[in-house]
Amino acid sequence: MRSFDYVVVGAGSAGCVLAARLSEDPRTRVLLIEAGAADGPESMAIPPAWPTLIGSSVDWGYVTVPQPGTNGLVHPYPRGKVLGGSSSINAMAFLRGHRAGYDAWVRNGAAGWGYDDLLPFFKRAERAAGRDSDYRGTEGPMVVSSAENVHPLAHACLDAAVEVGHPVTADLNGKEQEGVAWLDTNIVDGARQSAADGYLHPASVRSNLTVAPNATVRRLTLSAGRCTGIEYSVDGELRWVEASREILLSAGTIGSAQLLMLSGIGPADHLREFHIDVVADLPGVGANLQDHPLAGITYSSAKPVPPTTNQHSDLIAMVRSRPDLPAPDVQLVFLDIAYHPPTLAGPTNGYTVGFSLMLPHSRGSVRLASSDPDTAPLINPNFLGDERDLAAMVTALRLAREAGEAQALAQWRSGEVLPGAAVRDDGELREYVRRVTGPYFHAVGTCRIGHDPLSVVDTELRVHGIEGLRVVDASVMPHIIGANTHATVLAIAERAATLIAR
Ligand SMILES: Cc1cc2nc3c(=O)[nH]c(=O)nc-3n(C[C@H](O)[C@H](O)[C@H](O)COP(=O)(O)OP(=O)(O)OC[C@H]3O[C@@H](n4cnc5c(N)ncnc54)[C@H](O)[C@@H]3O)c2cc1C
């Protein structure tokens, strides 16, 4: 391959933004390199089919290590492996975190990444018609729609949420980020819009942008403290390419941490275990893995639950488990399917009120299992590893059940199947939460921004101690924000593109 100004590693949510924005300048030569294929199965476009993509050809197929907090369960840990990355297999929910979360990043050393700093970039990413223009963008590549053809069950769930006291908010991505609302999604004319659809495909006609799918990066090449290029393989053949300006690592929370460590950037002791030469001892690489723990209460339905054309959750609520908290800490997600681990028997015709902690305390890690890039790393989200999360999940369960038991849902509710209406005691509920809690697929934090010894990148996302290398993806979040992560990853990448171009 020719040499490039920028080589972007990973065509996921962040990588698509970088490739599209940086190539807007026709003098800038950009290579975007992606391990997955250019496209995937037709079901990728069909919103309600998203759960079938887990474990498919467009998923890396990772699993977690056994999770002590969830009775030793091993959870599938999907990550998209195709142009668009995880935005091509995700559930298409488009939600910003509460402003308090980003402002806490700043207090923890991530100057420039507060809510007001990011707001122009949230707006730049989206095209959300008919909303408050102080908060919402109208010209961006990602089309945001609020559920069309709302499921009849979701209408009843809205009434239930109101009945138990949750205020209705017109726009959870707007000024009022608390209450119950129809969910914003990236669904256009009934089909998924991934970051590849929104950003990359329109840009890929440019002659200064080269997109290379089916190319797996194996390590970064480094010389005298500078990242000079990457080594990658295509059909088993090793190749190498240089970047005259920068390598931009956007391989995601798992992939970016793994690639840094394979390249000698990470915790020195851990790298030496695998006989990897240490280039930079950065103990924070791979640490601080966070995800939102997700569980649900599942009901059998008194009447057939009709199929949906949406992504199964038209309605969402952001609520506080205690009134004295500064921001919502629990998300309730109303699902028109019975969503529970396959280890438990659920109803054939049912629905779930899901609940998730937005600000969990548990911290996990990504560690190498081998110095061979083809070996999956050890992924430990450490669900419920912190006792406070278990207690908070029980509180969240009670909030979900309160809505699930509301009169407004009486016409749908045949009975509570999981955990079962008789299970009410705190100890039993804790045990149930341990059995059902799994990932919400919002992995962040393994290359976090900051200036303390456990941070990995500075406030301009440059890897500490290495020239010519930035990380731009979900891994740089100092801690998880109070929402599904995709919208935030796009805003981070939008801001990064501005910093890089400058
Ligand atoms: C099943 C699922 C459902 C989700 N649902 C939602 C949702 O509804 N709403 C929401 O907001 N968020 C959701 N998320 C999370 C959201 O999609 C992610 O936070 C976001 O897409 C992450 O973007 P990223 O750029 O950090 O990583 P990714 O989008 O994962 O991109 C990383 C890219 O790098 C590539 N890559 C990795 N390693 C290499 C390598 N060695 N060589 C070359 N390429 C490599 C990958 O193949 C991938 O394309 C979901 C995620 C999943 C997996």
Radius of gyration of the chain measured on its C-alpha atoms: 22
> Over the range 268-290, which residues count as b (16 or more CB within 10 Å of their CB) and which as e?
eebbeeeebeebbebebbbbbbb
In this prediction, residue 146 carries a pLDDT of 86
Q: How far is CA 467 from CA 29, 90, 232, 299, 389, in A?
A: 19, 33, 20, 55, 39
pLDDT at 293: 98
Mean pLDDT within 108-130: 97
- Of ligand 1's listed atoms, the one at least distance from the Cα of 53 is 1
Distance (Å) from CA 77 to ligand 1 centroid? 11
Is residue 383 over pLDDT 90? Answer: yes
Active site residues: 442
Probe target for ligand 1 pocket from 186, 253, 260, 441, with the most ligand atoms within 8 Å of CB: 441
CA angle at 495 for the pair 106 and 226, rounded to the nearest 5°: 90
Burial class (CB in 10 A: 0-12, 13-18, 19+), 201: middle
- For the chain, first and last CA: distance in Å? 26
Q: What is residue 279's predicted lDDT score, i.e. its pLDDT?
A: 98
pLDDT the model gives residue 136: 98
> Is the pLDDT score of 152 beyond 80?
yes
Ligand 1: residues with CB < 6 A are 9-15, 33-36, 54, 78-81, 85-87, 89-93, 216-217, 250-253, 255, 259, 441-442, 473-474, 484-487, 489
Query: What spacing in Å lies between the alpha carbon of 79 and ligand 1's midpoint?
Result: 5
Picking from 31, 5, 114, the residue whose alpha carbon sits closest to that of residue 492 is 114
Beta strands at 126-127 and 142-143: parallel, antiparallel or unpaired = parallel
- Ligand 1: residue of 87, 122, 217 to mutate (most ligand atoms within 8 A of CB) is 87
Which helix (H) or strand (E) is 219 found in, with range?
strand 216-223
DSSP code for 168: B
Specify the DSSP class assigned to residue 56: S
Q: Can you give the pLDDT at residue 40? A: 97
Instruction: Please return the burial class of 12, using the count of CB atoms within 10 Å of its CB with bins 0-12, 13-18 and 19+.
Output: buried
**Rounded to the nearest whole angstrom, what is the distance from the C-alpha of residue 55 to the centroid of ligand 1?**
14
Task: Give the model confidence (pLDDT) of 408-428 as tens digits.
Answer: 999 999 999 999 999 999 999
Residue type, 419: P
Strands 315-319 and 145-146 turn out to be: unpaired
d(CA 353, CA 295): 9
Cα separation, 340 vs 299, whole angstroms: 11
| Residue 1 confidence (pLDDT) above 70 | no
> Across all residues in the chain, what is the average pLDDT?
97
What is the per-residue pLDDT across 255-306, written as a single tens digit (0 to 9) for each? 999 999 999 999 999 999 999 999 999 999 999 999 999 999 999 999 999 9
| Ligand 1: nearest atom to the Cα of 82 | 49
Would strands 293-301 and 413-418 be described as parallel, antiparallel, or unpaired? Answer: antiparallel
Look at strands 187-188 and 184-185 and give their pairing.
unpaired
DSSP state of 68: G
Residue 469 Cα to ligand 1 midpoint, Å, equals 20
CA atoms of 307 and 312, how far apart (whole Å): 9
Contact, 217 vs 8, CB < 8 A? no
Confidence of residue 148 (pLDDT cuts 50, 70, 90): confident
Q: Which domains does the chain have, with CATH numbers?
A: 4-43+194-289+444-501 (3.50.50.60), 148-182+293-357+384-436 (3.30.410.40)
Q: Are strands 209-212 and 30-33 parallel, antiparallel or unpaired?
A: parallel
| CB-based contacts of 194, cutoff 8 Å, min separation 6 | 16, 44, 83, 84, 87, 88, 186
Enumerate the H helices of 172-251 as residue ranges: 195, 201-203
| CA-based nearest residue to 285, from 317, 260, 322 | 260
- pLDDT digit string, tens, across residues 165-197: 999 999 999 999 999 999 999 999 999 999 999
Q: Which atom of ligand 1 is nearest to the CA of 83?
A: 49
User: What φ, ψ does residue 18 adopt, rounded to 5°?
Assistant: -60, -45
Q: Which two tokens stand for residue 389?
A: 């999360």
pLDDT over 90, % of the chain: 97
Q: What is the mean pLDDT of residues 40-56?
A: 98
Angstrom distances, CA of residue 425 to CA of 77, 397, 479: 31, 12, 32
DSSP 8-state secondary structure symbol assigned to residue 177: -
pLDDT, position 472? 99
d(CA 426, CA 394): 8
